[in-house]
Amino acid sequence: MKAYVFPGQGAQYPGMGKDLYENSDIAKELFDRADEILGFRITEVMFNGTEEELKQTKVTQPAIFLHSTILAACIEDSFHPNMVAGHSLGELSSLVASKALSFEDGLRLVSKRAMAMQDACEKEPSTMAAIIGLEDHVVEDVCTKVEGIVVAANYNCPGQLVISGAVPAVEEACEQLTEAGARRALMLPVGGAFHSPLMEPAREELASAIEATQFNTPVCPVYQNVVAKAVTDPNEIKENLVAQLTAPVKWTQTMHAMMEDGATEVIEVGPGKVLQGLFKKLDRQFLCSSAELV
């Protein structure tokens, strides 16, 4: 059984999507439509912009979403997923690829999400940190004992968990986790505390936009970040998508669930190979590849 997975923020790179635009009429049409919907030429930044320009909030999330969903559209003849999932932002890409959401509505929600998250980041100094080499329960326990807001945010794979929260609380948690035996406690260069209670203003803003958007039954089960299990009901998909901004990304649990439900192969759709690497951490023999324009 084939599982198609879609990357999240951080996978962007200069020139991304240019090969699709130049080699596919479908891609050209969708990229041009994206420029119209967003009201600026995101294609110019994606194809010719610098790394710094790609890091702009209004660009990063839509750029990764566009690369993933347009690539999925270009390989549609061979795109037959038994299940899909996306890491954080990638969940929206997976919903478009599985026909739960239209390309246009998905792009509008991604743009709204990016702006809402940026606004929430500016309300309080906040950050994230990667904790390497500790069991999840140790990290969770330390976070509950630190004064201030700090929570487990991204369960990426066994021994790799990202924490998120107010800057002083994250710094204190990193000190305590290092003392507890973490191989690394690395502050991440991000603008805010994603997947933490500090994203509540963004969650509220996005909730009304999601509620007003038409969702359909996907062509295959979608394994959502919040519940780490297969979901097909449109109303449940919407609820989980709203909750995602303040809840942790249960990617380790999602990978386990996909494998337990019969996945024998994972294909990453979009920039980078991060998600393939995480699957390999669970099982070095697991069949992983990148989707490619033929």
- Check: CB of residue 223 under 8 Å from CB of residue 258: yes
Q: How many Cβ atoms are within 10 Å of 58's Cβ, its own excluded?
A: 16
Residue 254, pLDDT above cutoff 80: yes
Q: Where are the domains of the chain?
A: 2-121+197-290, 126-187
pLDDT band for position 30 (50/70/90)? very high
Domain 2-121+197-290: CATH superfamily is Malonyl-Coenzyme A Acyl Carrier Protein, domain 2 (3.40.366.10)
Q: Residue written as tokens 């991060």?
A: 274
* CB neighbour class for 178 (10 Å; exposed up to 12, middle 13-18, buried from 19): middle
**In this model, does residue 66 exceed pLDDT 90?**
yes
Average predicted confidence (pLDDT) for the chain: 95
The rounded Cα 19 to chain-centroid distance in angstroms is: 23
Q: How far is CA 231 from the centre of its chain?
A: 17
State the pLDDT at residue 7.
97
CB 239 within 8 A of CB 222: no
Q: Is the pLDDT of residue 294 over 80?
A: no
Of 24, 68, 88, 94, the active-site residue reads 88
pLDDT digits (tens, 9 = 90+) for 111-159: 999 999 999 988 888 999 999 999 999 999 999 999 999 999 999 999 9
pLDDT (0 to 100) of residue 141: 97
What's the pLDDT score for residue 189?
81
How far is the C-alpha of 241 from the C-alpha of 100, rounded, in Å? 12
- Model pTM above 0.85: yes
**CA–CA distance, 190 with 59 (Å, rounded to integer):** 15
- Find all residues with CB under 8 Å of 134, minimum gap 6, and list them: 159, 161, 177, 180, 181, 182
88 catalytic? Reply is yes
Residue 86 CB contacts under 8 Å (≥ 6 apart), including other chains: 5, 6, 7, 8, 68, 92, 93, 94, 95, 225
How would residue 190 be classed by pLDDT, with cut points 50, 70 and 90?
confident
The alpha helices in the chain, defined as continuous H runs, are: 18-23, 25-38, 42-48, 51-54, 57-74, 90-97, 103-121, 136-145, 167-179, 200-211, 234-243, 251-260, 274-282
**195 catalytic residue (yes or no):** yes
Spatial contact of 149 and 198, defined as CB atoms under 8 Å apart:
yes
If we measure between CA atoms, which residue out of 81, 65, 74 comes closest to residue 2? Answer: 81
Looking at residue 123, what is its pLDDT? 87
Q: In this predicted model, what pLDDT tens digit does every residue of 227-251 receive, in sequence order?
A: 999 999 999 999 999 999 999 999 9
Q: What is the pLDDT of residue 93?
A: 98
Whether domain 126-187 has CATH 3.30.70.250: the reply is: yes
pLDDT, tens digit (0-9, with 9 covering 90-100), for 257-293: 999 999 999 999 999 999 999 999 998 899 999 998 7
pLDDT of the residue at 77: 83
- What pLDDT was estimated at residue 200? 95
Q: What confidence tier does 10 reach under pLDDT thresholds 50, 70, 90? A: confident
Length of the chain counted residue by residue:
294
Instruction: Write down the catalytic residue from 94, 98, 164, 195.
Output: 195
Cβ-contact 66, 31 below 8 angstroms: yes
Query: What whole-number distance in Å separates Cα of residue 223 and Cα of residue 240?
Result: 10
